[in-house]
């Protein structure tokens, strides 16, 4: 993969991180009913990780000679708490898959520091995925 293609892929990842920040912020504001007691803190607790990922990606894109996107990927709409958790689960799964592919591409491009950092982000996103899955599995 060329450096340009790697920068382009990292910019898609960055747009997805901004999406995650907007998604967690919006869902935590919008969630209603008794689930609100659980989910406000759950959604908001994910935001610092995603902000850290976005900052890392933006810094790396500039270091590679690119221009970081400022536009989040669109946030899927969700009405009920279950729908919100389902959308979150999909997004976190996509993040794990994306960073798994990106880490391999970074290795191929000789960017070992980036590859290792992306592996660390896979750990974070896997944690987000698993916590969401546990909530959703027993959701009534």
Chain residues in the site for Fe ion (CB under 5 A): 17, 50, 53, 92, 125, 128
Distance of CA 69 to the CA centre of its chain: 15
Nearer to Fe ion, 110 or 118 (CB): 118
Dist CA 47 CA 65 (whole Å): 27
Dist CA 83 CA 29 (whole Å): 15
Least CB distance from residue 99 to Fe ion, whole Å? 8
Least CB distance from residue 28 to Fe ion, whole Å? 14
Least CB distance from residue 74 to Fe ion, whole Å? 17
Nearer to Fe ion, 45 or 80 (CB): 45
Dist CA 48 CA 53 (whole Å): 9
């Amino acid at each position: 993969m060329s450096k340009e293609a790697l920068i382009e892929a990292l910019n898609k990842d960055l747009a997805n991180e901004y999406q995650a920040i907007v998604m967690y912020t919006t869902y935590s504001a919008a969630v209603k009913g008794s689930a609100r007691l659980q989910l406000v803190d759950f959604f908001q607790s994910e935001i610092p990780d995603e902000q850290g990922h976005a900052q890392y990606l933006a810094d790396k894109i500039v270091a590679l000679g690119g221009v970081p996107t400022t536009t989040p990927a669109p946030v899927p709409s969700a009405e009920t708490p279950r729908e919100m958790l389902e959308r979150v689960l999909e997004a976190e799964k996509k993040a794990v898959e994306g960073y798994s592919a990106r880490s391999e591409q970074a290795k191929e491009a000789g960017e070992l520091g980036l590859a290792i950092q992306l592996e660390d982000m896979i750990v974070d996103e896997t944690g987000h995925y698993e916590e969401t899955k546990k909530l959703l599995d027993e959701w009534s």
